[in-house]
Homo-oligomer: A and B are copies of this chain.
Amino acid sequence: MIFIMATKAKYLLIEEEIRKRILNGIYPARELMPDQNTLAQEFNVSRMTIKKALDRLASLGLIYKQSGLGTLVLGNIPIKAAEDSPANAFDGLTEQQGAEKIQSKIIVFDVKFPSEDIQKKLDIQKDCPVYEIVRLRILEGDPLILEHTYMPVELVPGLNEKILESSVYEYLHQNLKLKFGGAYRKIRAGVPDKFDKKYLNARDTDPMLELEEIIWLNNGKNIEYSASRNRYDKRSYTVIDVNDF
């Protein structure tokens, strides 16, 4: 009949509740959990709403649904480590690790016209100035990531060193009210360059893990191209994939 979205959508609340039940062993791993109709009755919602909650849990890899069989609770993932970073995450490093743990040292902060390469990556014209930023991100005193970033000036007015030293993401969201639409990321390995050697203390034989990234806003404009260089022994990226056929 009527429903209120005072806070969260029902399917999100149900998702949370079911996740708790899985973690607490109320729905044990490797067993079937109650069927959608039963859950719909229990939560007093329609089956579509239950299904939406389960779809999300399935896409996180917590459950597996199969038509004709039921919904299976999956176990924990053995190669998952606490220090792994999901390859699909939107919060900045500051938000991931906590502001008190992360320091940022500005190596380069400049404005220039974009090279052809950067024009293509940001989808802008050659007369559209961009910030060029190189930041060293330091976790608890340890050099962790060297970030090379390009952003169109017109999309990010008022960027300054103070902001770069704290959280750019916060500035974009809180102050400029910008919203991210999505990101495309590419992960690869590479040899250390002179920046890596100087700032990440990489030796010639130390592999680097590089995350290249284009982020676009909800209006479709590209706001950032960045290449993050990680020490190979400090970081890895993870992806969960759910079979869809």
Q: Give the B-binding residues of A (Cβ under 8 A).
A: 1-2, 29-30, 61, 64-67, 69, 72-75, 77-80, 84, 87-90, 120-123, 179-191, 204-209, 212, 214, 216, 218-222, 225, 230, 232, 235-245
A2 to B206, CA, bound (A): 45
A66 to B216, CA, bound (A): 14
28 A-B contact pairs sorted by A residue (CB < 8 Å): A2-B245, A30-B220, A61-B182, A64-B182, A64-B216, A64-B220, A69-B218, A74-B220, A79-B184, A79-B225, A80-B184, A87-B187, A87-B241, A90-B241, A181-B242, A182-B242, A182-B243, A184-B238, A184-B241, A185-B239, A187-B237, A188-B209, A189-B207, A191-B205, A191-B206, A191-B232, A207-B232, A218-B243
Q: A214, B66: Cβ atoms under 8 Å? A: no
Q: A189, B209: Cβ atoms under 8 Å? A: yes
Residues in B with CB closer than 8 Å to A204 are: 205
Residues in B with CB closer than 8 Å to A180 are: 243
A244 to B1, CA, bound (A): 4
A30 to B240, CA, bound (A): 30
Residues in B with CB closer than 8 Å to A89 are: 241
A89 to B123, CA, bound (A): 28
Residues in B with CB closer than 8 Å to A73 are: 220
